[in-house]
Amino acid sequence: MWNAGRWRQLIVAAAVTVVLCLVLTHRLSSGSARPADRAVPPPGPVACSALSIVCAADGPAQIPGAGDSQEAVLEALRSSHQHVVLAGHSRMRQVFEELPAVLGAELRTRADRPPPLPDSDDPRAPALATNDTCLAALPKTGWQPSNFWCSLAADWERVLFDFRWRHLTRALAELLERLAARPPHRLVIAHGLYQDGSTNSTVQLRADLRPLMAQLRQLQRRGTSVAWMLEAAKNGYTRYLGPASGHGLVVTNALLAETVLEAGVPLWSSHLPVVQHWLLSRCRRPQPGADNSVCEQQQLHTDPATNALMVSQLLEALTEREWSVS
């Protein structure tokens, strides 16, 4: 059981993360420095995005389409043709896996036509059936061969969603290089969770981000709308895992926010208070009779209801013409 001092530390760490993201986002987006290879936008107000915590803090009226019903958002999406790539670790996979429940999207199998972004199994992966929805298997290091990560794809109307498991920097760089040959309409990245922790990993993350930013700018020049998802707080109320410190993520998110925004890449930050609300309401104060299994067992993952809220943010953002740094 966690004592009062422990959860106060978690609250402070999460609050610092949110405030730091707000300050960095406002400072960098209002500054005059812009990447040399990006066109200067015309004068006038910068459009807000459903992915921005700054726009959410300023009020829903700042976000075009905010307050629309889910039916209105889906109707707008039906008239669009988009290839949406989600790349990263299990937190991004959770967002993808909630899409079938929200949209009724159909998962592709190995027997279907390959997606625009074909992927292949790691040579160490076991053979999978043709009706398997795991389109590319990557064995988990140190686990049995039957335990592996998967890349996935799903179709809904004229929108194709691709999830690509890329938790290591070199694998993400390889993916971005492949995307440059056939740029998607949208790209959302979650990267930093596996780099969070020691000082050495933070220093390494800073070095790794520079070439990644160059690749993302290249994709932006070719018409891809790109967003980088910040890392939400870890669950410190689980019963079965060791203590979760949020202090490392504060540093990681600050580094991500500064580097990504200076490169002209928008952040997905509006999910941070959504996750924090779930942690403080459902996990810290569980309701009698409620299903608290995710709170009790998962240190990094959120429950389906919270994932559905993040999917709603993403779908609303997909109706926006472009994603701006705001």
Q: Residue 7: which pLDDT band, with cuts at 50, 70 and 90? A: very low
Task: Return d(Cα 39, Cα 120) in angstroms, integer.
Answer: 36
pLDDT tens digits, one per residue of 159-179: 999 999 988 889 999 999 999
Task: Return d(Cα 94, Cα 81) in angstroms, integer.
Answer: 23
- Range 4-30+49-318 has CATH code 3.10.20.740: no
Task: Return d(Cα 82, Cα 104) in angstroms, integer.
Answer: 17
Higher pLDDT, 144 or 171: 171
- 20-29, 100-109, 193-202 — which is least confidently predicted? 20-29
- 13-22, 192-201, 246-255 — which is least confidently predicted? 13-22
Taking the model in full, what pTM does it have? 0.82
Average pLDDT along the chain: 79
Beta strands in the chain (DSSP E): 82-88, 106-107, 136-139, 148-156, 159-165, 186-190, 225-229, 267-268
pLDDT at 252 over 80: yes
pLDDT value, residue 55 = 76
- 90-104, 128-142, 163-177 — which is least confidently predicted? 128-142
Q: Residue 61: which pLDDT band, with cuts at 50, 70 and 90? A: very low
Residue whose C-alpha is closest to residue 272's, from 231, 234, 223: 231
pLDDT value, residue 133 = 93
- What distances in angstroms separate CA 109 from CA 27, 86, 101, one per listed residue? 45, 18, 17
**Sequence spans of domains, the chain:** 4-30+49-318
Q: Tell me the pairing of strands 136-139 and 186-190.
A: unpaired
84 in helix, strand or coil?
A: strand
pLDDT at 11 over 60: no
